[in-house]
Structures are given as structure tokens and as C-alpha cells.
């Protein structure tokens, strides 16, 4: 078994709390003694697969980063000078964008202006020998440039083209521009998120992530299919359809014009108690009771009053959900004389599922992530920063942790490799 370093330096603690730092390694890192932040020499599942991506924002870059994690070569085509506009979403990591850093490791950056004929010809030449083309440009852009699946498959019949858009390639919303929050709204996600008084969005780009992951899994499936048929295909990923797939519970819940799923903030819409409860010292804990056996254990072993379990207001989940306020008052009163850590210990001892209410500073230092060695390192234009290993990957050598590129960093090497002549 390999050893793990599990340190959060004083500078890292300062960074987590927004204090200035020096230009040294400042982050929590879990690393192998033989692998820090270099590309794996191991043959990975997608080694030998070349992906060209006309990508921006989150959805397509998130998809292609998953492909890169599994060994694919990803050539990221972005605008000269400014690059992918996600590079400028923020500057929280010593001037780098947190969004861009997250979704763009292990890629080669090729800066081209696709409005110029010679740059468009260059990308077409590269695509002729590629396995996959991913794009999430504005609707219709690739068709106007001759980069649709129909345009490209003659020269490369094994090519898989994955188009990611807000609403898909046909239908009345085909040409409508879409961003993450707008899709959350169209898909009904915001209608079931937030508190009773006001709907809310997700705190992360959930529609982009959903569509990026469906693009990724469909590309993997298409690669398997190509191995059987020898032919590529087109994949049409809609952000709306990706999000609506995740909305099936509230859809079925409201079938035939039944009442909608209520917005209940941090509590569960239909199961109770399931959510945050106050403890001493202004802290809170999250826990959930999923069945009657757990309800009895909560009352007897955590609340210390078995009679609550047989109170007529609370003898079934439906009644507990209907009588949330009096039950919440009882629970919070019982918890008010205990710290959050004491309550969590009681919940653990009783076998009741629970969690801390963590913020991002807490997650940087999360003991489970550190114990499982989830932190590695990746190079960037401003130096080494931490990165999480992909879920399901236990060793840094089992994935690619190549650098996050600067804009156009690989132009010269790619032009030379593909025989593309450029004036110096």
C-alpha cells in the first residue's frame, strides 16, 4: 500500500480563508511518492483516441476533460489571445479562473480564428484524422463553417461528432441561445429548489454538468459501437433534455395535474425529519430518517424520549411531514443542550445517517478526502495547483494529470505535426 501525505499547510489555511499567499505550494495535496502531477505513462482506456473540441464555457470542456482523464488526447480549439471566455469568469486562483482550471487540465490549446479561411482549413485538416469532434458553439455555427457531421463524415467516416446545445438540433427552440441558469429555469429545476417564498438556482452549473456528462457517456458508447460497425455517428445532446431527465421524480409526482412538489429549502419535500436542525452554539447538523425503524431509534437513542415515536402526530412519515413545525421544535429543543459534534456522535451511535453542514473551507480540509488520498497536483500557467483525482480513480498513475494550457500554447507543435504551414 502506498503512503499518503496528508497536509494542509499554514499557507493553504490562509488561502482557504481568503488571505494573501506567497508563490509556493499552498494547497492540500494527497500524492503518491512516485507520482506528483505528470502525465501517466500507463496505457489508459482511451489512449490513442484523438478528440478535437470547439468548446467554450463549461458543458463541452467538462465532457472533454473526462475523456482526457481516461487517456484521450484533447485538442482544444479556442480564440486567439482571449481564448475560451471561461478563462475570464473569475481570477480566484492567482489570476486563473476557477471554472477554467476545473475543466481544462490535460488538454492542448490550439488558438485559431475560424472566421479566417486558413484557420478553418487548419482545423478541418486536423479533424480528418481525429476520432471525435465535440462542439458547443452557438446554434448553427458549425454548419455555416462546414464542420457538421454531414460535412465531415465523407473524409472521415469513423468520426464521431457530438453537438451540445441548449435545446437540440431541431424543434421550435433550436436557435434559442441557452446558458446554465436559463436551462435550470426551462427544465423546472428552479421551481423545486429554494424555500417556500422564492425559487432558487443550484449553486453550481448543474445543467452544464448534466449535459457534459451525457455527452461523455454517449461518446464512450459511440466508440464501443464504432468498434463493432467501423462507422462514426452524430450525437445530439440537449441541455434541456439532460436536465429534464434529472427531473423525473417531480414530473411523476405532479402527473395528471396533481399538486406540484413543494419547495422546502434544505429539508426533503416528502420525507421528515430530513434536513438541518439547530444545536447548541449556533451550529446545525443534517440528518435523515427514512423508515419507521430509524424513527424509533432517533426518538429512543438520540432524543432520549421514546414516547415521541408514538405521538399520534408523528406515527407515520406522512403525518411527520404534515406536522413539521411541532416536530422540528421538539428536535431542536432536545439538541439545544448539545454541541453539533455531540449530536453527530449520538446519531452515528444510533445508526442514523447524518452529515456536517460544511462550507468550501471545510471541504478543502475534509478528513475523508485526505484519508483516501483524493488530492493530486496539476501544472498551470501560474504554477502547480491542487486537483482532485477523478471519482473511481485511486492512483494518479491511472489517469492523466497533464497541465492546464495557456491560450495557443500548442500551436507550433500541432502545426508541425499535422503539416500546417504558417508564416513566421
Q: What is the pLDDT of residue 40?
A: 56
How far out from the chain centre does Cα 414 lie? 29
DSSP letter (8 states) at residue 37 = S
Instruction: Determine the 3-state secondary structure of 51 from DSSP.
Output: strand
Rounded Cα–Cα distance for residues 31 and 378 (Å):
11
More confident residue, 20 or 274: 274
C-alpha cell at 412: 507550433
Rounded Cα–Cα distance for residues 245 and 108 (Å):
32
Name the catalytic one among 208, 301, 311, 379.
208
At 20-57, the pLDDT tens digits run: 333 334 444 444 333 334 455 579 999 999 999 999 99
Average pLDDT on 147-167 reads 98
Average pLDDT on 109-130 reads 97
Average pLDDT on 299-321 reads 97
Contacts of residue 198, defined as CB under 8 A and 6 or more positions apart, other chains included, come to none
197 pLDDT band (50/70/90 cuts)?
confident
- Give whole-number Cα distances, 329 to 216, 236, 259, in Å: 46, 50, 27
Q: Can you list the positions of beta strands (E) in 263-345?
A: 274-278, 284-288
422 pLDDT band (50/70/90 cuts)?
confident
Rounded Cα–Cα distance for residues 191 and 202 (Å):
11
Average pLDDT on 290-310 reads 97
119 pLDDT band (50/70/90 cuts)?
very high
Q: What is the pLDDT of residue 156?
A: 98
* Residue 2 clears pLDDT 50, i.e. is over it: no
Is residue 208 part of the annotated active site? The answer reads yes
Amino acid at each position: 500500500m502506498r503512503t499518503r501525505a496528508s497536509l494542509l499547510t499554514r499557507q493553504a489555511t490562509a488561502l482557504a480563508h481568503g488571505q494573501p499567499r506567497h508563490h509556493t505550494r499552498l494547497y492540500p495535496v494527497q500524492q503518491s511518492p512516485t507520482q506528483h502531477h505528470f502525465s501517466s505513462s500507463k496505457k489508459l482506456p482511451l489512449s490513442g483516441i484523438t478528440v478535437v473540441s470547439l468548446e467554450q464555457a463549461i458543458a463541452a470542456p467538462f465532457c472533454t476533460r473526462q475523456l482526457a482523464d481516461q487517456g484521450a488526447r484533447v485538442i482544444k480549439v479556442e480564440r486567439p489571445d482571449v481564448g475560451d471566455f471561461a478563462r475570464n469568469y473569475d481570477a480566484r486562483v492567482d489570476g486563473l479562473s476557477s471554472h477554467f482550471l476545473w475543466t481544462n487540465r490535460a488538454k492542448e490549446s490550439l488558438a485559431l480564428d475560424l472566421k479566417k479561411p486558413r484557420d478553418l482549413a487548419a482545423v478541418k485538416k486536423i479533424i480528418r484524422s481525429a476520432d471525435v469532434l465535440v462542439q458547443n458553439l452557438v446554434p448553427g455555427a458549425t454548419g455555416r463553417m462546414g464542420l457538421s457531421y454531414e460535412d465531415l463524415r465523407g473524409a472521415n467516416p469513423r468520426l464521431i461528432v457530438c453537438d451540445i446545445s441548449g435545446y437540440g438540433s431541431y424543434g421550435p427552440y433550436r436557435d434559442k441561445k441557452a446558458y446554465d441558469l436559463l436551462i435550470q429555469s426551462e427544465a423546472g429545476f428552479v421551481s423545486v429548489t429554494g424555500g417556500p417564498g422564492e425559487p432558487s438556482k443550484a449553486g453550481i452549473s448543474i445543467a452544464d454538468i448534466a449535459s457534459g456528462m451525457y455527452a461523455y457517456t454517449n461518446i464512450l458508447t459511440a466508440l464501443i459501437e464504432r468498434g463493432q460497425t467501423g462507422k462514426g455517428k452524430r450525437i445530439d445532446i440537449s441541455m434541456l433534455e439532460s436536465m429534464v431527465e434529472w427531473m423525473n421524480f417531480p414530473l411523476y409526482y405532479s402527473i395528471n395535474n396533481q399538486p406540484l412538489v413543494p419547495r422546502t429549502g434544505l429539508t426533503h419535500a416528502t420525507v421528515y425529519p430530513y434536513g438541518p436542525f439547530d444545536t447548541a452554539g449556533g451550529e446545525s447538523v443534517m440528518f435523515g430518517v427514512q423508515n419507521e425503524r430509524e424513527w424509533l431509534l432517533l426518538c429512543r437513542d438520540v432524543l432520549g424520549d421514546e414516547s415521541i415515536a408514538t405521538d399520534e402526530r408523528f406515527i407515520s412519515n406522512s403525518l411527520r411531514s404534515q406536522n413539521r413545525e411541532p416536530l422540528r421544535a421538539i428536535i431542536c429543543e432536545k439538541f439545544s443542550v448539545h454541541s453539533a459534534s455531540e449530536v453527530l456522535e449520538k446519531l452515528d451511535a444510533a445508526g442514523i445517517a447524518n452529515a456536517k453542514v460544511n462550507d468550501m473551507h471545510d471541504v478543502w480540509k475534509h478528513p475523508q478526502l485526505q484519508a483516501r488520498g483524493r488530492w493530486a497536483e496539476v501544472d498551470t500557467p501560474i504554477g502547480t495547483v491542487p486537483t482532485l483525482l477523478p471519482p473511481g480513480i485511486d492512483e494518479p498513475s491511472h489517469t492523466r494529470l497533464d497541465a492546464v494550457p495557456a491560450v495557443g500554447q500548442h500551436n507550433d507543435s500541432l502545426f508541425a505535426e499535422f503539416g500546417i504551414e504558417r508564416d513566421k
